[in-house]
Structure 1
Amino acid sequence: MRRLFAILPLSLAVASFAVAAAPAPAPQPVFDVHVHLREGEASLKTYEREVADAKLKLAGFAGMWFGGPYQALQGDPDAIRRANDAHIALAAKHPEMLAVATVHPYDGQAALDELARIAGRGVKVLKLHPHTQQFDAADPRVLPLVRKAGELGVVVLFDNANILPGDSERLFNVAIQAPKTRFIFAHIGGMNFRFWNILALARTADDFFADNIFFDISATAVLMADSPVEKEFVWTLRNVGIGQVLLGSDYPQLPLAKAVDALDRLDLTDEEKEKIRIGNARRLFGLR
């Protein structure tokens, strides 16, 4: 009996060593759909250095130039064109970057022409920001632009932080009227995320909803993880469809590490998290 007790501590020590020596699980690849490169390549390098320091496995990111020296305001299509070209050139130099271009809906034919031009240069995503660009998503000049994007196979990324009253309702109406266009509504409505549960009912109406709305959960997921309303947020993600949800950081306002950590803390299955982290982006953008 004494011999048995003498052996047990050694066995436990060996087991503890084996656990300690086990390699850490490899990081899961992630695609970040919401990165602001306010200072061009300098921002890109800082972003990727921070991602590497956080030991994340970056599969790619969608980079936009909103929020820097260019706000893409109405009446200056030449400046918008130059900024788009600079961004396309940056993406050509850094293949991990998916270039996100923009136009201003109130520039009319100039906006439509620029949309066609950038689509011809391989741009897959158009960013529109009603609050920053100072336009109304319900304005009749918006619809021809987003419909044209759909014809050209360009995804329209709309800000949807619900800064403006009625933001989500306006965007839903736009998506209903442009059923052949795929939309990403960034921030999933912010604290108004509850509105988007209407999609669960919209899908039950015959010939009404084309299921063309995707969401990125940048910033909002950071607020929701471990919050009093986390269960409701997860319920909403499942109601809009896990296959329609994308991960974003909203860098530089928030680092990718915070977005990944928030996703990990949400009460979702591993399979659901994998779709949000990268699977849905691969499908939407045709990535490898």
Structure 2
Amino acid sequence: MQRLLLLVLMLLTGGAAASGPVFDVHVHLRNGEASLQEYLADVEASGVELSGLGAMWFGGPHQARQGDLDAIRAGNDSVIALARAHAQVLPIATVHPYDDAAAIAELERVAAAGVPVLKLHAHTQRFDVSDPRVETLVRRAGELEMVVLTDNAHVLPGDSEKLFNLVVRVPGTKFILAHIGGMNFRYWNILALARTADGFAMDNLYFDISGPVLLAPGSPIEDEFVWTLRNVGIDHVLLGSDYPQMGLGAAVDALERLDLTEAEKEQIRRGNAARLFGL
């Protein structure tokens, strides 16, 4: 009966039936202000109450490649300017780990400009997560009190395993793993066992559920997906859209359809992001 009432409400409103404001942690604004206005229009049409968004400039055809230092700096400056013009925008910058000292210098520059999040994407930026240069970079990000948001769609073999080891080696840095392992989300249930070891809390690890959350409701994997969210810790789960590839309205609709309590959904919609980012 509860699911039927929720479905009726969604049909009547024509959009997401969220019970409160939402922070979208994963938004690609490839054309700056123009992309932001398109995103906001899409959110408004979905009926979602938006509290804020984490905005990055690169994604799809716009990548931060090794050695492309001027383009990376310009892209980072674009999201910094966007955040200064719009209070609800949380700027997310990027560098390429293989740029060594230049990557560290750019990381320090954007941190000084108030950027709280570094985004990395091993698949599209073409680097190996297990490379020592990646550890050096994310360790420095933690020292600068930046959160590291990194892709975890498990497109590359060993993606989740390599990220697990990276998070363990760098406990002073907070990580958000985007897409919670993709369809390999089951892997992350290992945290329930890993945390039974002394000193192995891994409290520095968070998950963005953009992508897989759309597939879970009403599917054979729904119970396992909800079970996974509780095993990794509901207080460490964040909602993202991965716009423009996917919209926030669809992500919110999917979250509302999962068999979670209202308190759990509120944490995922906004509460956890507010705590993590000090909003």
TM-score, with length taken from structure 2: 0.92
- Give the Cα–Cα distance (whole angstroms) in 1 for the partners of residues 213 and 38 of structure 2: 23
After superposition, give the CA deviation of every residue in 1:82-119 in whole Å (9 maximum; x if it has no partner).
Answer: 11011100111111110000000000000011111111
Counterpart position of 1:29: 21
- Give the Cα–Cα distance (whole angstroms) in 1 for the partners of residues 201 and 166 of structure 2: 11
Structure 2: segments with no counterpart, 5+ residues? 1-16
For 1:1-288, list aligned pairs within 5 A: 27-67=19-59, 70-287=62-279
Kindly provide the amino acid, as one letter, of the partner of residue 64 in structure 2. Answer: A
Counterpart position of 1:11: none
Contact 1:203 1:211 in 2 (8 A): no
- Give the Cα–Cα distance (whole angstroms) in 2 for the partners of residues 80 and 225 of structure 1: 38
Contact 2:139 2:172 in 1 (8 A): yes
2:92 counterpart SS class: strand
Runs of 4+ in 1 over 4 A off after TM superposition: none
- Give the Cα–Cα distance (whole angstroms) in 1 for the partners of residues 32 and 276 of structure 2: 25
Percent identity, please: 66
Counterpart position of 1:22: none
- Give the Cα–Cα distance (whole angstroms) in 2 for the partners of residues 45 and 68 of structure 1: 19
Contact 2:18 2:253 in 1 (8 A): no
Worse overlay, 108-117 or 70-79: 70-79
- How far apart are residue 65 of structure 1 and its match? 1.2
- Give the Cα–Cα distance (whole angstroms) in 1 for the partners of residues 33 and 45 of structure 2: 18
- How far apart are residue 27 of structure 1 and its match? 4.8
- Give the Cα–Cα distance (whole angstroms) in 1 for the partners of residues 73 and 62 of structure 2: 11
Structure 1: segments with no counterpart, 5+ residues? 1-24
Contact 2:180 2:208 in 1 (8 A): yes
Kindly provide the amino acid, as one letter, of the partner of residue 144 in structure 1. Answer: T
TM-score, with length taken from structure 1: 0.89
- Give the Cα–Cα distance (whole angstroms) in 2 for the partners of residues 91 and 111 of structure 1: 22
2:153 counterpart SS class: coil
1:136 counterpart SS class: coil
- Give the Cα–Cα distance (whole angstroms) in 1 for the partners of residues 162 and 18 of structure 2: 42
2:87 counterpart SS class: coil
Q: Which has the higher contact order (CA 8 A, sep 6+)?
A: 2
- Give the Cα–Cα distance (whole angstroms) in 1 for the partners of residues 97 and 175 of structure 2: 16
Kindly provide the amino acid, as one letter, of the partner of residue 22 in structure 2. Answer: V
After superposition, give the CA deviation of every residue in 1:142-198 in whole Å (9 maximum; x if it has no partner).
Answer: 001000011110000000000101100010110000000000000000000000001
- How far apart are residue 208 of structure 1 and its match? 3.3
- Give the Cα–Cα distance (whole angstroms) in 1 for the partners of residues 218 and 122 of structure 2: 30
Contact 1:151 1:181 in 2 (8 A): yes
1:75 counterpart SS class: coil
- How far apart are residue 202 of structure 1 and its match? 1.3
Worse overlay, 89-98 or 68-77: 68-77
User: Which entry has the higher C-alpha Rg, 1 or 2?
Assistant: 1
- Give the Cα–Cα distance (whole angstroms) in 1 for the partners of residues 263 and 170 of structure 2: 31
